[in-house]
Amino acid sequence: MPRPARMTLALFAFYILTSAVSAHAECAWVLWRVESRMEYPGDVTLTRHFTEAAYPAHPDCQAAAVRMTKVYYDFHAKLGVAAELKYTPGATFFAYRSAGREGQAADSRTYDLQCWPDTIDPRGPMKK
C-alpha cells in the first residue's frame, strides 16, 4: 500500500475512534422512575415508566436518584398509607404494602429510580 494511502487510512481510523469517544462523553443521562404495583386478590401487576430529569454525567444522575428516592420515601411515610415501608438509606429503590382503603384492594408498590443514557429507552422497543 502506498504511503499516502496508509496515512489517510490511519487518519480515518483515528477520526472514527475519537468521534465515538467524544459522542459517549457528550451523552446525557436520564433519570427514570419505574413504578410497579401488584393488587390483591388477583395479582394484577402494572408497571409504568416516568422521566424525572436529565443530567450531563452518570455520577450526577446517580446522586439525583438517591436524593429522589429519599424524597418519594419521605412523601409516602408522611401520607401514612403504607403498612410496610422498606427503604435503605443511599438506595435508589423502595417498596411498600398498603392495607387498602375503604372499598379498595390491598396492594404492593415499588419505586425504582434508574439512570439510563439518553440514547436508550428502558421501556424497550415501541410497538407500532
Sign, CA dihedral 104-105-108-114, equals: negative
Question: Is residue 11, in this structure, part of any structural domain at all?
Answer: no
CA 46 to chain CA mean position, Å: 17
Q: Given a cut of 90, is residue 29 above it in pLDDT? A: yes
Q: Given a cut of 90, is residue 75 above it in pLDDT? A: no
Residue-wise pLDDT tens digits, 85-105: 777 878 888 888 776 666 666
Question: Is residue 66, in this structure, part of any structural domain at all?
Answer: yes
Which one is predicted more confidently, 21 or 28?
28
Give yes or no for a contact between 96 and 108, defined as CB atoms under 8 angstroms apart: yes
Question: Is residue 10, in this structure, part of any structural domain at all?
Answer: no
Question: Is residue 4, in this structure, part of any structural domain at all?
Answer: no
Structural domain boundaries enclosing 85 = 28-117
* Domains identified in the chain, total number: 1
Prediction pTM value: 0.68
Q: Given a cut of 90, is residue 50 above it in pLDDT? A: yes
Question: Is residue 105, in this structure, part of any structural domain at all?
Answer: yes
What is the pLDDT at residue 96? 82
